[in-house]
Amino acid sequence: MVFAPEAAPARRPAFLDWYEEQTAWLEDHGGIDPAAAAPALQAFYTDLAAEFPPAPADDPDPGFGTEYTIGRALIYMSFLDWDKIDAAWEAVHRLAARHELGFFDVSSDLGEVWLPDRKGGLRVAHAD
C-alpha cells in the first residue's frame, strides 16, 4: 500500500489504527477511480499501472493483473501474478520514492512502513 505521508500518523500504533480505518473503504467514491486520490497518488497509479496493469474488471477471478483499491490518501494493491511479486515490490518501492509517498509493506512479516527521505529514496519509519 502507498499513502500520502502527510495524511498518516507518524507513530506506529496510531498509524495501524489509521490503516484499519482507511481500509474499511467507507469513502463515497467506490475505490476504483484514480481521480479520487491525491495528485501524487494519481501520478503513482499512472506509472505503476503502466508496468502492472489493472486486472480485468469483468473477470471475477482473473489470475493475472493487479487489483487496485483507491482512497483519497492511499492506494492498496493486490498483485495476482505471484511470479512477478518481487518485480512488483521493487516497482512500488521505486515509484513511491519517486512520487514522495509512504509505502506500507502490508504482506511482509515485519510490516515495515517506509517514508520519503526527501533525497529521492525511502527510509524505514517503523516495523513491528
Instruction: Answer whether residue 70 shows pLDDT above 90.
Output: yes
pLDDT mean over 37-57: 94
Residue 80 in this model has a pLDDT that exceeds 80 = yes
Distance of CA 39 to the CA centre of its chain: 14
Q: What is the pLDDT of residue 26?
A: 86
Nearest to 30 by CA among 87, 70, 75: 70
Range 18-56 burial, b when 16+ CB lie within 10 A, else e? bbeebeeeeeeeeeeebebbbebbbbbbeebbeebebbe
C-alpha distances in Å from residue 87, one per residue of 23, 53, 92, 121:
24, 13, 9, 17
Question: Could you give the CA distance from residue 42 to residue 30 in angstroms, rounded to a whole number?
Answer: 16
| 122-126 and 102-104 beta bridge pairing | unpaired
* Per-residue pLDDT, 10: 86
The per-residue pLDDT for range 106-121, each reduced to its tens digit, is: 988 888 999 999 899 9
- Count CB atoms within 10 A of the CB of residue 110: 10
pTM of the model: 0.90
Q: What is the per-residue pLDDT across 5-46, written as a single tens digit (0 to 9) for each?
A: 999 998 999 999 999 999 988 888 777 889 999 999 999 999
CA dihedral 117, 89, 44, 22 (to 10 degrees): -90
